[in-house]
Amino acid sequence: MSARPRPMFTGISEIVLVVRDLDEAMKRQWEMFGIGPWDIWTFDESTVADMVVHDRPCPFSVRVAYTAIGSTHWELIQPLDTHSTYYEHLLRHGEGVHNIVFSVDDFDETAAAMRALGIGTRNSGNWKGTRFLNFDSASALGAVAEIFDTADGAGFPAPERTYPPTA
């Protein structure tokens, strides 16, 4: 019997959903389920470096809303153009879960291990010191896996706005 391999993922930190209309989705989730409040940002060439789609450099643009449900982060993404895997997801599957964000001990080691398994990149980038990478892992894992790494001293910038607006 072979030894159990070292786990690649150490936890689940976030669930990411694609939506057609970010404002409508935030409002619905806030009013129906009390999910929020939401911090909102735009990810595009001006805010995210090193953007990749399907293993090739490719800028894309999305609006992101971020909140927490207990210790798990909950994120909504609205594609703003046709270049992202988020847009592809809407075309193929409609609104819903796009990926699960896993915690890892070492971002670079995990990225190399996934490449060694033949698992490509769906999208990636570096947002203000936080690197993110979505893998084309659905056929092997049953879900698109994302990992992230935040550089020392980096953190999320102030949101562009919040929902619901504060009085």
Q: Which of 127, 14, 122 is nearest to 58 (CA)?
A: 122
3-state secondary structure of 33: helix
* Tens-place pLDDT, residues 132-147: 999 999 999 999 999 9
The confidence band for 5, taking pLDDT boundaries of 50, 70 and 90, is: confident
pLDDT of residue 155: 86
* Tens-place pLDDT, residues 98-151: 999 999 999 999 999 999 999 999 999 999 999 999 999 999 999 999 999 999
Question: Domain ranges in the chain?
Answer: 11-152+159-163
Backbone angles phi, psi at 153, to 5 degrees: 85, -10
* Tens-place pLDDT, residues 6-59: 899 999 999 999 999 999 999 999 999 999 999 999 999 999 999 999 999 999
Q: Which of 101, 103, 135 is nearest to 119 (CA)?
A: 135
The CATH number, out of the four listed (3.10.50.40, 3.10.180.10, 3.30.70.890, 3.40.50.720), of the domain defined by the range 11-152+159-163: 3.10.180.10
Q: Which amino acid is at 70?
A: G
* Residue 16 near residue 4, CB atoms below 8 Å: no
Which single residue is written with the structure tokens 């090193």? Answer: 50
* Residue 129 near residue 155, CB atoms below 8 Å: yes
Q: Tokens for 103, please give them.
A: 């915690």
